Structure 1
Amino acid sequence: MPSSDISQALIQAVTEAADRRQPLQLCGSGSKDFLGRTPSGTSLDLTGHRGVINYEPRELVITVRAGTRLAELEALLAAEGHMLPFEPPHFGPAATLGGTAACGLSGPRRPYAGALRDFVLGVTLINGRGERLRFGGEVMKNVAGYDLSRLMVGAMGTLGVLLDVSMKVLPLPEVERTLVQECDELQAIERMNRLAGSPLPLTAAAFDGLKLFLRLAGSEQGVAAAQTQLGGEVLPDGERFWHRVRELEHPFFGNDRPLWRLSVAPGSPPLALPGKQFIDWGGAQRWLVTDQSAERVRERAIQHGGHAQLFRGGERTGEVNHPLAGPLLRLHQQLKQAFDPKGIFNPGRLYAGF
């Protein structure tokens, strides 16, 4: 895997931008440029900062520079029988770890293994003063006080330039098998939630409007026993199915209409909203293709204990993320001020005003 440390050049670029109060648009491969609000500022290319800093296969811990390509990282881990447990989407062949962490993205395995944030042990970053800071470490119990390393996950680059990330990895399962059965939406939601509380080796559950898809992973004996208990047909190319769901390549996502991502309580009943829906994360993530107003979509998400994000398409200059309540907004603003006092990092990308 190519390795290159350009941290000093990045520190210099940030310091000069801060002195001039010049906004910076932090750039990786561009695979996730469609997320968030419309970016602005002078481009700062981070892809040259790449490579593995430390990998301890026996300890299941790896530290990687943020510009490292996800595909290369996953290939390295697979060669040792390991994987990124949160199953991150790529959205492009050159996707980087830094962009994935900044966007906080996790795939179908997230409800059963944990989110990206759960596996971050530490980060090194450059703040808005051009200072190099390290938070966390390379062991699970390394946090005293505020866990600032995980704060960077999902911040969309608004708090600093990620230099490297230390993460926990997990062994690859011995086998994976996907079962499929026909049912309606209400039946699918009920079954996904009931199975979530069982000891079955479930690692993904989704409903496409006609069929329920359940992925099992683990030992051959354990998966076979679970398959007998659950019933249903084996999907011949299950790995391909979940790849298409993860990468938004499933036919459901194949249109240019606004795509909403609703995070709700997993047991929420079918959402009474016009448009097409796809359920993932065992009921907790509802994808919605609709031309309905943002107000109506978000109101329905709130009614079911969640929030809504305009994930793709639609008007990107408005608030694409769920608006923050007053106290939470002030907390975000204070964090922005602490890490980036001159407001140079990805201004307006996450929310208008910071």
Structure 2
Amino acid sequence: MPKAVEHFIHTINAAVKNKRPLYIRGGNSKYFYGGQLTSQTYEILDAAAYSGIVNYEPSELIVTARAGTRLSDLEAVLSEHHQMLAFEPPHFDENATLGGCIATGLSGPRRAYTGAARDFVLGVRMLDGKGDDLHFGGQVMKNVAGYDVSRLVTGAMGTLGVLLEVSLKVLPLPSMEITLGMQMTEPEAIDKMHHWASKPLPISATCFYNDHLFVRLSGAESAVHAARLKLGGEEMKQAKSFWQSIREHTHPFFHSGTRLWRLSLKSSTPKLLLPGEQLLEWGGALRWLASDENLNEKTIRSQAEAAGGHATLFYGNKSSAQIFHPLTSYMMTLHKRLKQKFDPTGIFNPGRMYPEY
């Protein structure tokens, strides 16, 4: 067993014995996302210490890497073989790791057209709250209790265990990619994106902001050219840097308010009448709202619920607002049972998802 894993197990066992919470951290690139630990005293478990690619079969479109592997390093290797992480995960920092990527479950601009992070996780290796080394690997994902563990840990904010290794399905890089820009109102953009969603178009990303709709086309050259003629608009010159600014939140919009809300809704939801600036992605299914602290969270969440969705306070002052959308009593009970199953003493990242665990 690698020394890093032995150290993790020792750290977990000591934390259980001393009843001291563990803050599981990789590159610390997403420290701002989620809640703060409910305990004032905790120990940091540095998962970045366990890194490297374990296995990569380009012909099989599968890669297995350790959780501490930097996303930039992993993507560089994939790129050498003309492949990519299809869910286009945000980094937010050069030290972003694969473990943090899966723990937060965040996906980038391509998500609505290829799938979310959890859709590409084929298996995981992890340490639970007893220090047991668990493998839910290969391509058989269900454990004896029937849980799809890969989907459970994706987006669980490290509350269920310490990720050691992740197996991912990857996709080929598109042979051609262009971005079209069109001027229109938000209602017009929502209608167009909703209409295009039912058509066989090679759309890989959409973004509406400041009366402009941007549409990225990816795929075979013939398909991209045909779609370009059908959709119209003007081809964008600096498209790669534009989409990177959307993925990495370096676009000026993301710094236009003191709080940034992330609303996941039905893509056909009409324009939201909320104070502050908005930016739309994922065909209208993702609405970013840059607001100030005077905008009541109940106002935001009531509109999200009315549209069949939910709202997350992505970053900003979190002292007076709940981070993730409140769960029903049934769902909270289910979450607590899962937490009890994987982390019976509650040492992993308490408070990072909900104050209750």
TM-score by length of 2: 0.95
Residue aligning to 2:5: 7
Residue aligning to 1:154: 155
Instruction: Name the SS for the 1:158 alignment partner.
Output: coil
Q: Provide Cα deviations, 1:147-201, integer angstroms capped at 9, x if missing partner.
A: 1121000000011000010010000000110000000000000001111111010
Q: Select the residue among 283, 298, 302 that pairs with 2:301.
A: 298
Using the TM superposition, give the Cα deviation of residue 28 of structure 1 relative to its aligned residue in structure 2, in angstroms.
Answer: 1.2
- Alignment partners' CA distance in 1, 2:321 and 2:351: 10
Classify 1:316/1:171 alpha carbon distance in 2 versus 1 (closer, same or farther; 3 Å): farther
Residue aligning to 1:330: 333
1:220-231 equivalences under 5 Å are 220-231=221-232
Classify 1:142/1:315 alpha carbon distance in 2 versus 1 (closer, same or farther; 3 Å): closer
Instruction: Name the SS for the 1:344 alignment partner.
Output: coil
- Alignment partners' CA distance in 2, 1:241 and 1:5: 42
- Alignment partners' CA distance in 2, 1:194 and 1:69: 38
Classify 1:142/1:159 alpha carbon distance in 2 versus 1 (closer, same or farther; 3 Å): closer
CA contact (8 A) 1:108 1:281 kept: yes
Unpaired runs of 5+ residues, structure 1, are none
Q: State the identity %.
A: 49
- Alignment partners' CA distance in 2, 1:83 and 1:149: 20
Using the TM superposition, give the Cα deviation of residue 146 of structure 1 relative to its aligned residue in structure 2, in angstroms.
Answer: 2.2
1:341 aligns with 2:344: yes
Classify 1:52/1:317 alpha carbon distance in 2 versus 1 (closer, same or farther; 3 Å): farther
Moved more, 74-83 or 314-323: 314-323
CA contact (8 A) 1:61 1:138 kept: no
- Alignment partners' CA distance in 1, 2:5 and 2:77: 23
TM-score by length of 1: 0.96
1:65 aligns with 2:43: no
Using the TM superposition, give the Cα deviation of residue 142 of structure 1 relative to its aligned residue in structure 2, in angstroms.
Answer: 4.7
Classify 1:317/1:64 alpha carbon distance in 2 versus 1 (closer, same or farther; 3 Å): farther
- Alignment partners' CA distance in 2, 1:44 and 1:142: 26
Q: Which amino acid aligns with 1:56?
A: E
The count of aligned residue pairs is: 349
Q: Which amino acid aligns with 1:328?
A: M
Q: Which amino acid aligns with 1:202?
A: I
CA contact (8 A) 1:102 1:154 kept: yes
Residue aligning to 2:30: 32
Classify 1:49/1:79 alpha carbon distance in 2 versus 1 (closer, same or farther; 3 Å): same
Instruction: Name the SS for the 1:6 alignment partner.
Output: helix
1:61-140 equivalences under 5 Å are 61-135=62-136, 137-139=137-139
Q: Give the root-mean-square deviation of aligned CA atoms.
A: 1.3
Moved more, 303-312 or 289-298: 289-298
- Alignment partners' CA distance in 2, 1:83 and 1:5: 30
Instruction: Name the SS for the 1:36 alignment partner.
Output: coil
Moved more, 252-261 or 111-120: 252-261
- Alignment partners' CA distance in 2, 1:259 and 1:316: 14
Unpaired runs of 5+ residues, structure 2, are none
- Alignment partners' CA distance in 1, 2:116 and 2:319: 26
- Alignment partners' CA distance in 1, 2:211 and 2:301: 25
Q: Which amino acid aligns with 1:308?
A: A
1:209 aligns with 2:210: yes
- Alignment partners' CA distance in 2, 1:93 and 1:316: 28
